[in-house]
Amino acid sequence: MAHYNVSTENSTRAFRAADCDLDGKVSFSEFFFLAPALWPRLGHALNREAFREFDRDHDGSINRTEIEKTIWVSETEAVGTIAVYDNDGDMRISYGEFLAMVKQIVVRARKE
């Protein structure tokens, strides 16, 4: 990661934080969470693209099924994710809620 001026320690922390399903790998979807931490200038475009990746039916929000299919988690894990980040209680993740979620993940990556 030296080419991108990111230390090995920081990149390791970021990859651990991005590995949402704890399989020891960073999937394409998980990478979208990692990239803004490594390349902040690309953050907005990548966040928008990541949201589109999750929002499979293009209705402007992310539901439980879309989370399950995008990052290959169980129904319980998807419901748990929604419970943590769904601020308005509609059981969906809006773009604003998605951005807050990404921000929390990036902050956590920087602290770990």
Give the dihedral sign, CA 97/98/100/101.
positive
CATH number among 3.90.1150.10, 1.10.238.10, 3.40.50.720, 2.70.150.10, domain 2-111: 1.10.238.10
Amino acid present at 96 = G
The pTM for the full model equals 0.64
Locate the domains of the chain by residue range: 2-111
For residue 102, the model assigns a pLDDT of: 81
The H-or-E segment that residue 36 falls in is helix 28-38
Per-position pLDDT tens, the chain of length 112? 344 555 777 767 777 777 777 888 877 667 766 666 666 666 677 788 889 999 999 999 999 999 999 988 899 999 999 999 999 999 999 999 998 888 787 677 666 5
